[in-house]
Structure 1
């Protein structure tokens, strides 16, 4: 659902840009090439440009027309030029790994906001849910969200009606075990949060300065909360303003999911173990995390006598 909403916004941007540039709104190769070139000139990232093209092609397919091929001219030459100009490297979210997670959890207060943040950190990390899935959780299956949580003797079962890779399929399930340590047990954190808020409707809700619980968090809220927690931990450690900004700059809503994957590989778990929790369908996506986590394991630079 989030992908479809993003595609709709991208399509509306194309229509607005076409009017502004005095072009026809029919997405032909030349028209789309000019639009993408203008996006690059305005400072758009390559990932944004590729998504805009995907949104336009989605619209074409839904109307019964053929999608535009990035291999055909003039689109091929324009995209090649954009890649040379701005590159194709994606800005990777910095993973929040175990040691940092413990530090962030210890900094959460005992007020409603602190209790919520602790639950968000620990459930987000242990489940490896995408941020849209995390904020879409309800306390039970009677809600209107994209999933719900079920307490079981072993911990929690998370049931997902929809996800990025499963828009219309069967309900997916993610299991969460009880933690070995009370301070970092995701199940205990959720139970504590449930004691603060009503256990109906959205699991993760906004909390104002007076401690009043409000509506469902948005995906953007997750990143803002994480950045704030990281900045707070850096400040408590005596970091400078620049160091605080640097520490939180690459934190995003994806940092908890990336952190579990990285930590799992560092702990020696297999790709199959990790994929069972993250629901990745392609093992190639995980290889970058494994390279980062095991970069100093049997590394030749430390074994040649330097």
Structure 2
């Protein structure tokens, strides 16, 4: 195969000849077999669990007495990141491996030049098999996924290498576009959306509770459906609620650990998230396990399994359209404007309190991140044109 082009275009003698790559998809050398009495390191066990389809399956079998420990390690590996994150990492790694295989390039060991060529292909929309060029945010996510996968295999990738860092900087300068943020559901929008739900059905009561709890808590859609009725009730739960006199205390297991969210009672029972949750629990007869579940049997029965987080996004989109939110836009544009994140952005934009309280509610580590969620809140509040005398 022809040598890989030096992406920096620098003529350095020590780098004038790029490393050659075999025509096989992946090249790997098997480590020497350890002595019979040498137990495998726990890191090797985790690496074996994380093997991707493009890696050779030639690792020695695990000793029988370590199977239980390996199973526990798998649980910890899964707990280290969310299911959505793991799916994204796996999909991006598969995408990278497929591209490298078509180009007759090796994936292992990590080569910054190969990764630089890959992100170039993603930006150009060629060779990767994608229908159109990837957005800058997609390329950055793919690069993060590749870096994580390399690190899990004990072979870290240097993202600061000029073949990656310089190319990525150029991609950002050339293709970056303003962020496309979802529309915030403001308080008046939410009230109109609630009116589109049937209070006489279990599904309507459940959806009211989900919208109000998600809005007042500034919760992500995965956090809404991941809640249990009480502590330590399910294996897949990501938190639980505790109903108190003054409101609901929500315990959440997020990206950076556990945090608590206080959701106070509203000024009216019709819009109070606490009343909505209590009504749902009582009439749906939910006393244990997942808080929000599927409603079956023509809306007369409640299933045992947890709702998928996509249901939150569909609920927000459906009720926003039914309530006529942003009626100044076409129906197609409106459908693209709303998602589960609209509730989270809505609280940040609607709550007229000190910014630090909003930051705490959303679980942000910086005020700058919180400001990104505050759609339209401070627009034209201060008019510097008039203040300057014009």
CA RMSD of aligned residues (A): 2.5
Corresponding residue for residue 148 of structure 1: 240
1:47–1:90 CA contact under 8 A, matched in 2: no
Deviations 1:152-200 (CA, angstroms, capped at 9, x unpaired): 111211112x20222xxxx321111111011110011111221225232
Tell me how far 1:208 sits from its aligned partner.
4.9
Q: Which residue of 1 aligns with 2:293?
A: 205
Q: Distance in 1 between matches of 2:163 and 2:287?
A: 55
1:8 aligned onto 2:84: no
Q: What TM-score does the superposition give when structure 1 sets the normalisation length?
A: 0.86
Q: Which residue of the partner structure matches residue 181 of structure 2? A: 92
Give the SS at the match of 2:179. Answer: coil
Structure of greater Rg: 2
More off after superposition, 217-226 vs 133-142: 217-226
2: CA distance, partners of 1:296 / 1:223 = 30
Out of 258, 263, 266, the position equivalent to 1:176 is 263
Residue of structure 2 equivalent to 1:260? 347
Distance 2:189 2:386 in 1: 26
1:298 aligns with 2:378: no
Tell me the alpha carbon deviations over residues 38-86 of structure 1, each in whole angstroms, 9 at most, x when there is no partner.
Answer: 32313322112111111111222233333322x4232234323422442
Q: 1:128 to 1:65 in 2, by over 3 A?
A: same
Instruction: For residues 121-143 of structure 1, give each alpha carbon's deviation from its aligned partner in whole angstroms, at most 9, with x where no partner exists.
Output: 10000111122211111111212
Taking the aligned partners of 1:59 and 1:45, their CA distance within structure 2 comes to 21
Deviation, 1:33, is 2.0
Q: Give the length in aligned residue pairs.
A: 294
Q: Give the match for residue 59 of structure 1.
A: 149
Is the contact between residue 135 and residue 218 of structure 1 (CA under 8 Å) also seen in structure 2? Answer: yes
Aligned mates of 2:362, 2:171 — CA distance in 1: 33
For the pair 1:284 / 2:368, whether they are aligned, the reply is yes
Matched, 1:188 2:279: no
Q: Does 1:18 align with 2:100?
A: yes
Identify the structure with the greater helix proportion: 1
Distance 1:244 1:208, change over 3 A: farther
Distance 1:291 1:262, change over 3 A: closer
Secondary structure of the residue that 1:293 maps to in structure 2?
coil
Determine if contact 1:131/1:254 at 8 Å carries over to the other structure.
yes
Relative to structure 1, the CA distance from residue 135 to residue 75 in structure 2 (aligned partners, 3 Å threshold; closer, same or farther) is: same
TM-aligned CA deviation for residue 272 of structure 1: 1.5
Please give the secondary structure, in 2, of the residue aligned with 1:273.
helix
Are the counterparts in 2 of residues 115 and 189 from structure 1 also a CA contact under 8 Å?
A: yes
Instruction: Kindly indicate whether the alpha-carbon contact (under 8 Å) linking 1:47 and 1:88 is maintained by their aligned counterparts in 2.
Output: no
1:132 has 2:251 as partner? no
1:104 to partner: Cα distance: 0.6
The offset of 1:210, in angstroms, is 1.6
Partner of 2:172: 83
Inter-partner Cα distance in structure 2 for 1:213 and 1:154 = 28
Q: Unaligned 5+ residue runs, structure 1? A: none
The correspondence for 1:31, drawn from 114, 117, 121, is: 114
Residue equivalent to 2:255:
164
SS at match of 2:191: helix
Partners of 1:6 and 1:197 lie apart in 2 by 36
SS of the residue corresponding to residue 323 of structure 2 reads helix
Residues 292 and 114 (structure 1), Cα distance of their counterparts in 2 relative to 1, 3 Å cut: same
Q: Deviations over 1:262-283 (max 9, x none)?
A: 112xx2x112111221111111
Q: Greater CA deviation, 72-81 or 43-52? A: 72-81
Q: Unpaired segments of 5 or more residues in structure 2? A: 1-80, 126-131
**CA deviation map 1:25-48 (0-9, x unaligned):** 224212222222232313322112
